[in-house]
Amino acid sequence: MKHTILCSDLDGTMLSTKSDVSEFTISVIQRIKQSTQIILVSARMPKAMTYIQKDLGIEHEPLICYNGALIIKDNAEVFSTIIETAIIEKLNILTAEHSIKLGLYHKNEWYVEESTERVKKEIHHTKVEPIFRKTSVTILDWKTRNIGAHKIMLMGTKNTINGISPILHDKFNSVMNIYRSNDTIIEVTPVAISKLSAIETIIVGNSTLNDVIAFGDNHNDVEMLKHVGCGVAVGNAREEVKNIADYTTLPNTEDGVANFLNLHFKI
């Protein structure tokens, strides 16, 4: 198997724990990185990805952040699109009615109103600390600075997330990608982007999507895996992801990405 570009999701895919890549994964990436471009593709913010990039020794490569809403290379912005503050205001009113808290992200800024178990988990998993302040204050600040959200995280209970999910799709489907990452969290990003669109943005020269091998586990990876040259689902992936993938490898906790590369990349 020969592909010159490798794109991998992080959480539940390349990360063998909630926070880190294993020594085995690092060794495999070291073996192939001279002949294969390694691009990390995640819903995470840049600061929550750069330490992984450093561990893998691929700091010179692009980072696809926020499911494609922000692309960074060498600390410079390659591409950026946001959710406008007017939309965030409407979302804030709706979520307050359903007792759901928001996490607002712009580049390396992360704002939440209070410390909750979910926020503590996010800090632990991503090694990033948020700024605590009222969402209304963040919206006002962003209006002044003429910026918006690369991603918004909706945090609630299983029941409140169940309740608001159809309303979100009804009211905001035309302006947001709405993705339920687990029972208690919905993540939203600007509607015009995806992991696939971001990969297409950074492919250069004579390379095409056929030159890409990609790894993923969740709904937001489906389009990417379906349209690249080789799409690989990890063993812990959702069934919908496995169904469209070309291959299924071991679970992330068993170094599925690294094991697949070790078996199929003959370098």
Catalytically active residues, by annotation: 9
Element (H, E) at 38: strand 37-41
The tally of CA atoms less than 13 A away on the side-chain side of residue 7 is 34
**Residue 177 near residue 87, CB atoms below 8 Å:** no
Element (H, E) at 256: helix 256-264
**Residue 209 near residue 229, CB atoms below 8 Å:** yes
Neighbours of 57 (CB within 10 A): 13
Report helix, strand or coil for 209: helix
CA dihedral 51, 56, 60, 62 (to 10 degrees): -70
**Residue 14 near residue 29, CB atoms below 8 Å:** no
**In which residue are the tokens 């990349």 written?**
265
Report helix, strand or coil for 77: strand
Report helix, strand or coil for 76: strand
**Residue 4 near residue 240, CB atoms below 8 Å:** no
